[in-house]
Chain A
Amino acid sequence: MRILIVEDEIHIRQQLHDAMRAQHYAVDVAENGREGLYFATEYPYDLAIIDLGLPEISGIELIRQLRNNDKTFPILILTARSDWQDKVEGLEAGADDYVVKPFQMEEVIARIHALLRRSAGSSNPSINFGRLTINTTAKVALIDSEEMTLTSYEYNTLEYLAHHAGKVVSKTELTEHLYSQDFERDSNVIEVFIGRLRKKMDPDNQLKPIATVRGQGYRFTLEPSSQSDSPS
């Protein structure tokens, strides 16, 4: 998952960056609205954290422009102004949730998880695919109720594919959602992650959770069980 953070205050920006990295998200940071708009237009993101009090282009204007440009990823707003007028304006501009400063980082992380789940069409942190279960809050995957040992990139690859179950995901798309903008990219790495995931999830080659679509990318073949979307 790739997240964009648009925050002008250097310390908060860094703290958010570190917290998101600790959650194994690919993170890009922008220090003003103009830069944020550029990043959001140029790169695919799964979520954006936008401060409302930004220089150059205000947070609300940035959100409005993103929505006008058909950017549909969830947006979490950070606001120091706790009055409802500002919160409602931010939500009306196209944001999906808000956090008032000063905030508990745990709260921001919880909101991000909820937004990502919601955007994937699930309200439950635990996504069940029969033998495979992915807990998006704990960032763990279990096969036959046993936790798999996955690196953060392997987990992120699995979560991204699972969120787009049934759809073809190209290597480029995967790369862009797994790595931040300043990361050295190598598309062969994706093949390596997919190979390792197949081995760890399906050592007997019976489940076949990830199919290769020739010339296009990969498709997550497992279907979510009905109880995975019920409220916890």
Chain B
Amino acid sequence: MINTLFGRLFIASVLVLSLFLGLIAYTINQLTAENAYQTQYEKLRLQNHLLLSSARINNDQIELPEDLREARFDEYESGLYGFVSDVEGNILWRSYSAHSLTFEKNIFQTTLTKLGTSQYEIVPGYFAYHHMVLWEIVDDKPQLLTFTALEESRPILENIDQLQQTLRFWLFVIGLLLITLLMLILRWGTKPLRQLASNLKLIEDGVKNRIEGNFPVEFYNVTNNLNQLIDSERRQRERYHSTLADLAHSLKTPLAVIHTELNTTHNSLITEQVQRMDEIIKHQLQRAVVASPHQLTEAISVEQCVDRLISAMGKVYAGKHLRFDVKIVENTVFKGDQRDLMEVLGNLIDNACKASKSKVDVVANNMTPGLNIEIHDDGSGIPLSSRENLIKRGHRADTRYTGQGIGLDVANDIIESYNGKLEIAQSSLGGALISIRLPQVNQTHGQ
């Protein structure tokens, strides 16, 4: 996934989003807690002031009315407790709600030193608000007193925790939703890239010969340039073929005139040299037009090519009454230039027709990676000793084995240019078997 553009963008986006949502969750947690503490502070401050304003000294004792304005002080173990204590922490008065409970002394031992000041703190199990006053209780003797409002922290903390959990849940849901949306946006955004890649694959596979589809404006230049490159390569190849064909015509027509004239003068030396020139021209021109294999080639139907050739051979060799047996697996294709396939098969089938007595078989498939073609004939075959020389690389056109024409040499050159292999063996029909093995185009690259 890391090797794909979509994967990279997706992983980076998920990481950024997770970090962002994590920070949001942290901030909201902090703010929720802060807010809860602050609210609690305000509440306890008011409760404390209520206690302070309700307190009276009667008979040297602190007294508070039984019916305080905050009902929770008067409810049994309500969770809100009021206290008046001295500086040592001794409780001088407690609200009805705290009557049955025991409290640690140190809860009431504050760090307050100045009169009229307050302290808000969280002690184990409680939120506490203390306020220090100086009252004359006994014999008008001033005494430091601490008014304390305590509230159990557990329900509040549980509330905070629940709120935070809810927030975290919704942040998680939002995160998932955002990631899904992000994935959809990325898929939509990278669709043109996938479309382009798919187009290129189809061109590679030979299904298409140019890039087609609705691409965004940013891609126009890329697709146009690629299409132009493909078209210009094709045009250049056709121009090259055409130029070489013209060259062949220009060279061979005068040769044909000389050839025919020589037949009347019977000059064997010049006739032989003219023949040699002709064969060299033929051989070199055929080698020159062989295209090199590359990725952006069309897939040529082998069956279609063989059918055309068999139909043509049927006319040329009509007098021999040959039987052709073609066994080609459906969708067997050649990835390369159509002319190259036509040239290879044309030469090989032509040779087989010349050599055969009555039967020529053509078998082809893409069973193993690449293309396999076999051409059988029921002629007299090719002697073992001549086979290697016939397909030896760089074997000169004018020194070839005369029984097999220039065709085998040219076919072998083309096959080799596609990194393929041509082999000669004995056919089960009794004559020669020419086998061609061609690798896939993408396998030839980088070799």
Contact = CB atoms under 8 A, between A and B. Distances in A.
B361 interface: no
B123 interface: no
A13 to B, nearest CB: 10
Interface string A54-85: 00000000000000000000000000111111
B319 A114 contact: yes
6 tightest A-B contacts by CB?
A84-B346, A102-B256, A80-B249, A80-B252, A102-B259, A91-B312
A86 interface: yes
Contacts, number: 97
Given A91-B315, A101-B249, A102-B274, 4 more contacts: A12-B257, A81-B245, A84-B346, A101-B252
A98 B316 contact: yes
Contacts of B197: none
A87 B263 CA distance: 26
Contacts of A82: 248, 282, 285-286
B252 A123 contact: no
Contacts of A101: 249, 252-253, 255-256
Interface in B130-158: none
Interface in A104-121: 104-106, 114, 118
Given A80-B253, A81-B249, A82-B282, A12 B346 contact: no
B309 interface: yes
26 contacts: A9-B257, A19-B260, A53-B249, A80-B249, A80-B251, A81-B248, A83-B245, A83-B343, A84-B343, A84-B346, A85-B342, A85-B346, A88-B308, A88-B342, A92-B308, A101-B249, A102-B252, A102-B255, A102-B256, A102-B257, A103-B256, A103-B259, A105-B260, A118-B318, A123-B318, A123-B319
A92 B304 CA distance: 13
A231 to B, nearest CB: 8
A114 B318 CA distance: 10
B312 A83 contact: no
A97 interface: yes
A114 to B, nearest CB: 6
Contacts of A19: 260
B429 to A, nearest CB: 20
A12 B311 contact: no
B402 to A, nearest CB: 15
Interface string A15-32: 100010000000000000
B71 interface: no
Interface in B220-261: 245, 248-249, 251-253, 255-261
B319 A83 contact: no
A87 B248 CA distance: 14
Given A9-B253, A84-B346, A88-B312, A105 B245 contact: no
B259 to A, nearest CB: 4
Nearest to B289: A83
B86 interface: no
A27 to B, nearest CB: 16
A85 B312 contact: no
A198 B338 CA distance: 58
Contact of A85 (B249, B251, B321, B338): B338
B311 A92 contact: yes
Contacts of A81: 245, 248-249
B245 A12 contact: no
Nearest to B277: A102
B347 interface: yes
Contacts of B63: none
A9 B343 CA distance: 27
Nearest to A84: B346
A11 B260 CA distance: 10
A12 B256 contact: yes
Contacts of B256: 9, 12, 80, 101-103
A97 B285 CA distance: 22
Contacts of B319: 114, 118, 123, 231
A53 to B, nearest CB: 5
Contacts of B339: 83, 85
A118 B320 CA distance: 11
B257 A87 contact: no
A87 B312 CA distance: 8
Contacts of B282: 82, 100
Contacts of B309: 84, 88
Contacts of B338: 85
A102 B346 contact: no
A15 B256 CA distance: 10
B315 A96 contact: yes
B307 to A, nearest CB: 10
A102 B311 contact: no
B343 A86 contact: no
A96 B245 CA distance: 22
A12 B253 contact: yes
Contacts of A97: 315-316
A11 B312 contact: no
B77 interface: no
B260 to A, nearest CB: 4
A88 B346 contact: yes
Contact of B346 (A15, A87, A103): A87
A44 to B, nearest CB: 22
B343 A85 contact: yes
Contacts of A9: 253, 256-257
Given A9-B253, A88-B309, A97-B316, A83 B260 contact: no
Nearest to A82: B282
Among A85, A96, A102, the most chain B Cβ lie within 10 Å of the Cβ of A102
Among A81, A86, A123, the most chain B Cβ lie within 10 Å of the Cβ of A81
Contacts of B278: 102
A15 B257 contact: yes
A146 B329 CA distance: 58
A83 B286 contact: yes
Contact of B347 (A84, A91, A98): A84
Interface in B251-297: 251-253, 255-261, 263, 274, 278, 282, 285-286, 289
B286 A15 contact: no
